[in-house]
Amino acid sequence: MKIKILAFVIAHFLASAVQAQGIPDFSFEIQMTPNDIEVNNFDTIYNMECILILQDTINVSRIHVKVGTYNGASNMFNYAFLFDINAGFPGSQSYYRNANTVKLNLGQFSAGNYYYETKLEYISGAMSQPLMWNSWTQ
């Protein structure tokens, strides 16, 4: 019995230590797929998809995503997706979840240098630390 309790205490301590080190609650990547729409000879339209891998899905209420042409901007896209609601979006956006993976279609964008910021909002109203990515640096 003492070994089981000790194992629980160690596991709980390790989980707390991991959270204290600032390991993010999620990761994300952006996928850009060329669309068949031809704008002109010099530009391509891409379907942009934000794919998140969540560590936990129990307390998430919203997923905030913004896209801008400079760091911190939201001049291209700014939307808070309600967690597990896959209808009623303002444009060509869509939401799909399979277990801890969430795929968000952000719409269509031309090629360019974009800054992405994603963060989670929890049921308590608290927000995760934002994760950021820049298409130019990749």
Q: Is residue 1 part of a domain?
A: no
Does the pLDDT of residue 123 top 80, yes or no? yes
Residue 113 has, within 13 A of its CA and on its CB side, a CA count of 5
Q: Is residue 130 part of a domain?
A: yes
Give the Cα separation of 105 and 86 in Å (integer).
11
What pLDDT score was predicted for residue 11?
A: 32
CB within 8 A of 111, min separation 6: which ones?
43, 44, 46
Asked if 27 and 54 touch (Cβ cutoff 8 Å), the reply is no
Give the Cα separation of 127 and 46 in Å (integer).
30
| Angle (CA) 13 17 20, round 5° | 140
Q: Is residue 20 part of a domain?
A: no
**pLDDT tens by residue, 21-48:** 455 789 999 998 988 766 666 678 889 9
Q: Is residue 54 part of a domain?
A: yes
What's the number of domains the chain is made of?
Answer: 1
Please tell me which residue, 45 or 20, carries the higher pLDDT value: 45
Asked if 56 and 25 touch (Cβ cutoff 8 Å), the reply is yes
What pLDDT score was predicted for residue 45?
A: 86
**pLDDT tens by residue, 75-121:** 999 999 999 998 888 888 999 999 999 999 999 988 888 999 999 99
Q: Is residue 131 part of a domain?
A: yes
Q: Is residue 11 part of a domain?
A: no
What pLDDT score was predicted for residue 82?
A: 96
Q: Could you tell me the CATH number of the domain that includes residue 65? A: 2.60.40.10
- Whether the full predicted model's pTM is greater than 0.85, yes or no, is no
Please tell me which residue, 35 or 125, carries the higher pLDDT value: 125
Q: Is residue 104 part of a domain?
A: yes
Could you tell me which residues are beta bridge partners of residue 104? 50, 95
* Domain span including residue 118: 25-137
